[in-house]
Amino acid sequence: MSENNVDFTFVIPNTRWHRDGNGRYWNHIPYPEGILTAVLRKNGFIVNHIDANVNDYSENELFEELSKKAGKVVGISALSVEYRDSVHKTFSIIKSARPYVKTVLGGVYPSISPEVAKKDENVDFIVISEGENRLLQLMNCLKNNQPFDDVDGLHYRVGKEWRHNPRKLEGNVNNLDDLPFPDYSDYNTSKLFNWRQKYTQNFQFRKLPMTIMMTSRGCVYKCTYCGAGKSGNPINDGIKQRTPNNVLDEIKYLVKEYGIKEIIFVDDSLLLPPDRIIKILKGITKLREEGTDLIWKSNNLDLRHVPMPGRVKVRGDDKDLLYWMKQSGCYQISISLESGSPETFKRMKRPTNLVHAVQRLQEIRKYGFEEVASNFIIGMPGDTWNDILTTFEFADKMVNHDKLLDYALFSIATPLPGTEMFETAMNMNFIPKSFKPENFYGFGKGVINTDEWTAEELQVKRAMEWDRINFPSSRPEHHKKLAKMLGITMEELKIWRQETRKNSGVQVRSADKTDETQPSRTSPDLTQITH
């Protein structure tokens, strides 16, 4: 056991250790860890943290920190499957530094892919789904030397064998208002909340210090590509929402304790229902009127949750949602349109009406939002080349013709283990038989190959179209706007574009022109509604 009195140590892996070797870095605001910390401390446990990511520790440096500071139990919350490699490398270092500590893995990754996670012999326990009650149960069992049979949904190692307790809903948090606010008291918050990063496809923060918040959990949709979409998936047990007063109290707490000036909301369903979110936005507006220097944005707003023009959905208020978003300091709208092809929407199981989407974007512009971006996904199982080209054409129209979007981000559909999309791709033989879930690479490269297109072709096309659509030679002023939004200089933007094209597998002089041999096609019927 550790020589100190620490009961539990949270470790944040260094995301630069991802196996692709290109140093991709994702700064991780430890919001889940902050809440779990507060829960454990509230119940008498001593908790500390080692943040290898913000501090950019080498493997040796992390080893030294663990040797000095690791508690009796060491845990990692793995939000993304993409950084699985750095998570498991960290567990190896933990066991090397402290062979006798107990190790716990929780978060999205093990919740949707526990069988993959269990291949790591350095992991002793896996906590799936919501961790607040389940981790507390586990810690009490370890403290009191009790069996683990009643810990809801727990996977635990007995010798070389794994046992699994049935997951019951009583392990979930019924009332989110009961949770304490995140505790960051022993983190290096001067670094944690004040970082800027170049060469990401996400926009920079406008004000620092910044942090993330979640006002609800769950999603109403069942998109095939999402880890929360599959029926019975442990990371989506339905919509749960905090009350407006509770959300506003946390905002006040973050401003007072950490000087926060910008909040990034990470809810999957932030704008539902309109009554609730507008009460929150009115509260933020009041704080701003009282002198609080605060702005906000969300990187995954669902356009379908924005009221159609002329429709006021909030009782007793003649101002609509977009009005209050603007008044409360929302300066940027990032949405996920995902496709321009009605057929692709069907495969995604996304009920989307593109005519309504365009009308909502027009309304967003009417309210004066000058930074609007959207993500698109190409290469879903069953997609034709025509579906893929249709999406690029629609994105181009939105950015360069209608000017309803400022930026289009393109992702290649990646069959995430545990999703319906993964099962479909496997059943259709679109994934090589040699592929194993534990070899899942991440979201940067394609995996699916069909008779019409290959993963390599999508990578090249994605890079070229991203460049052509977002940085046309005819709109140099737009280049300047995006450079400002991305937080880089024009020279850095030029280098980034060149490297993106080069990394796609080809080198070209310019990506401003489309392939002239590409057959012309009629525009898609945007009136179609997919179900």
409 and 443 Cβ atoms separated by less than 8 Å? no
| Residues 217, 280 within the same domain | yes
Centroid of chain to Cα 476 = 31
| Residues 256, 291 within the same domain | yes
- Among the ranges given (11-20, 203-212, 245-254, 406-415), the one the predictor scored with the smallest mean pLDDT: 11-20
CATH number reported for the structural domain that contains residue 337 in this entry: 3.30.750.200
Per-range mean pLDDT, top range of 288-292, 311-315, 426-430, 502-506: 288-292
pLDDT at 522 over 50: no
| Residues 158, 202 within the same domain | no
Token duo for residue 265: 């909301």
Nearest Cα neighbor of 406 from 467, 517, 482 is 482
| Residues 106, 230 within the same domain | no
Distance CA 388, CA 379 (A): 7
Output 223 or 201, whichever has higher pLDDT. 223
pLDDT tier for residue 363 given thresholds of 50, 70 and 90: very high
Instruction: Answer whether residue 155 is part of any domain.
Output: yes
Q: Which of 137, 171, 205 is the last residue of a domain?
A: 171
DSSP result, 474-513: T-HHHHHHHHHHHT--HHHHHHHHHHHHHHTT---S-SSS
Distance CA 291, CA 148 (A): 51
| Residues 312, 372 within the same domain | yes
Instruction: Answer whether residue 177 is part of any domain.
Output: no
| Residues 300, 216 within the same domain | yes
Other Cβ atoms less than 10 A from the Cβ of 298: the count is: 21
Question: What's the pLDDT at 528?
Answer: 35
pLDDT tier for residue 172 given thresholds of 50, 70 and 90: confident
| Residues 253, 317 within the same domain | yes
Question: What's the pLDDT at 24?
Answer: 52
Question: What's the pLDDT at 444?
Answer: 55
pLDDT at 507 over 60: no
pLDDT tier for residue 233 given thresholds of 50, 70 and 90: low
| Residues 167, 204 within the same domain | no
Which residue range forms the structural domain that includes residue 42?
A: 8-171
Cα separations in angstroms, 417 against 17, 114, 124, 233, 508: 21, 10, 22, 12, 35
Centroid of chain to Cα 381 = 22
| Residues 107, 228 within the same domain | no
Instruction: With both helix axes pointing from N to C terminus, report the angle between 455-470 and 490-503 in degrees, rounded to the nearest 10.
Output: 160
Cα separations in angstroms, 91 against 10, 148, 364, 477: 12, 22, 46, 48
Output 522 or 92, whichever has higher pLDDT. 92
Instruction: Answer whether residue 167 is part of any domain.
Output: yes
For the stretch 97-149, pLDDT in tens is 999 999 999 998 898 888 889 999 999 999 998 999 999 999 999 999 999 99
Instruction: Answer whether residue 135 is part of any domain.
Output: yes
Question: What's the pLDDT at 509?
Answer: 39
Question: What's the pLDDT at 305?
Answer: 85
pLDDT tier for residue 218 given thresholds of 50, 70 and 90: confident
| Residues 297, 411 within the same domain | yes
Cα separations in angstroms, 493 against 135, 500, 511: 44, 10, 14
Instruction: Answer whether residue 57 is part of any domain.
Output: yes
| Residues 347, 411 within the same domain | yes
Cα angle: 271, vertex 274, 279; to 5 degrees:
100
Question: What's the pLDDT at 104?
Answer: 98
Instruction: Answer whether residue 522 is part of any domain.
Output: no
Distance CA 322, CA 34 (A): 31
Question: Mean pLDDT throughout 283-289?
Answer: 98
Question: What's the pLDDT at 63?
Answer: 97
Question: Mean pLDDT throughout 27-37?
Answer: 91
pLDDT tier for residue 527 given thresholds of 50, 70 and 90: very low
Number of domains present in the structure of the chain? 2
* Single pTM value for the model: 0.89
pLDDT at 2 over 50: no
Question: Mean pLDDT throughout 306-314?
Answer: 66
Output 530 or 312, whichever has higher pLDDT. 312
In residues, how long is the chain?
531
> What SS3 class is residue 398?
helix
Cα separations in angstroms, 172 against 1, 129, 243, 278, 455: 30, 8, 18, 27, 39
Instruction: With both helix axes pointing from N to C terminus, report the angle between 476-486 and 490-503 in degrees, rounded to the nearest 10.
Output: 90
Token duo for residue 48: 């500390």
Instruction: Answer whether residue 509 is part of any domain.
Output: no
Question: Mean pLDDT throughout 358-382?
Answer: 94
Centroid of chain to Cα 229 = 14
Output 113 or 51, whichever has higher pLDDT. 51
Question: What's the pLDDT at 376?
Answer: 95
pLDDT tier for residue 409 given thresholds of 50, 70 and 90: very high
CATH number reported for the structural domain that contains residue 24 in this entry: 3.40.50.280
Distance CA 489, CA 393 (A): 28
Instruction: Answer whether residue 182 is part of any domain.
Output: no
Question: Mean pLDDT throughout 475-482?
Answer: 95
| Residues 75, 212 within the same domain | no
Q: Average model confidence (pLDDT) for the chain? A: 86
Element (H, E) at 457: helix 455-470
Alpha helix ranges (H) inside 397-454 = 420-427
pLDDT tier for residue 531 given thresholds of 50, 70 and 90: very low
